[in-house]
Structures are given as structure tokens and as C-alpha cells.
Amino acid sequence: MKLVTAVIKPHKWEEVREALAAAGVAGMTVTEASGYGQQKGHTEVYRGAEYDVSLVPKIRLEVVVDDADVESVVGTITSAAQTGKIGDGKVWVVPVESVVRVRTGETDEAAV
């Protein structure tokens, strides 16, 4: 089992979700995140004082997948989330040692 974590642009979320669903990924966990990278934040001015907002909003997805599906899932996310502009995000993969479905206690492949 692997854990695929993807950081994407928020307005791409809907497309990524649909692409993953089409690819048979039925579950994932999503968090709101902020990104720091080549894509710069912006400057706001309040009563003449400048505020640097250095972070940009991102969506962070976590999907636990079978080893066999890793490549396809990473590919699906990558192509669905791509706009070609700086700040499109990253996807990384981490090994998972075990998974449990809380409701049933099922583990590993059966739990995803």
C-alpha cells in the first residue's frame, strides 16, 4: 500500500475528483492547505500599510492506494490538475505499512 499526497490548485479540485472517480478511486481525504514556492503570494494594502501575504491557497489530497495503482493514480492527478502555470503543485508517494477501515476493522487492500 502507498499513500499518495497531492497538493493542487483549489479550482482544480473538482476536475481531479472526477478524474480519480473515473479511474476507480473511491475514497480520499482532503485538507485545506497553503503553499509556498515559486508561485508568489500577493501584497495587500490597508490604510497605506503593505501586508505581504506570502502563501497561496492549495488543496491537499491524501489517497491510500494499492501498490499496483500508484502510477495510474499519480498520473491521473497530475494530468487533471495541470494548468501549465507556476504553482500547479506537487504529488509525492510514501510507503504505507498497514491500513484499517474503522467501521469494520478490515485491513490493507480490503480497507481502502
Partner 1 sequence: MDTGYAAYAAWILASASLVLLMTPGLALFYGGMTRAKSVLNMIMMSFGALAVVPPVFILWGWSTAYGEDVGGLFGNPFEMFGLQDVPATDYVYVAFQVTFAIITAALISGAIADRVKFSAWLVFLPLWVTLSYLPLAHQVWGGGFLSDAASGLSAKVFGVVDGAAEIAPIDYAGGTVVHINAGVAGLVLVLILGARRGFNKEPMRPHSLPLTMLGAGLLWFGWFGFNAGSYVPDAENFDLEGFVGETGLVWVNTTAAAAAAILGWILVEKIRDKKATSLGAASGVVAGLVAITPACGALSPLGSLALGLVAGALCALAVGLKYRFGFDDSLDVVGVHLVGGLVGTIAIGLLATSGGLFYGDGLKLFVVQTLIALYAVVWSGIATAIVGFAIKATIGWRIDTEDEVSGIDFVEHGESAYDFATTGGSPFKTGA
* CB 85 to partner 1: min, Å: 9
Does 11 help bind a copy of itself (rule: CB under 8 A)?
A: no
Does 102 help bind a copy of itself (rule: CB under 8 A)?
A: yes
Is 93 in contact with 1 (CB distance < 8 Å)? no
Going by C-alpha positions, the residue among 83, 92, 93 that lies closest to residue 9 is 83
* CB 36 to partner 1: min, Å: 8
Is 29 in contact with 62 (CB distance < 8 Å)? yes
Q: Site residues for ligand ADP, window 27-86 (CB under 6 A)?
A: 27-29, 35-39, 56, 58, 62-64, 86
Contacted entry of ligand ADP, partner 1, a copy of itself, none for residue 53, CB cut-off 5 to 8 Å set by kind: partner 1
Cell (9 digits) for 78:
497530475
Does 31 help bind a copy of itself (rule: CB under 8 A)?
A: yes
C-alpha 50/C-alpha 27 separation (Å) is 42
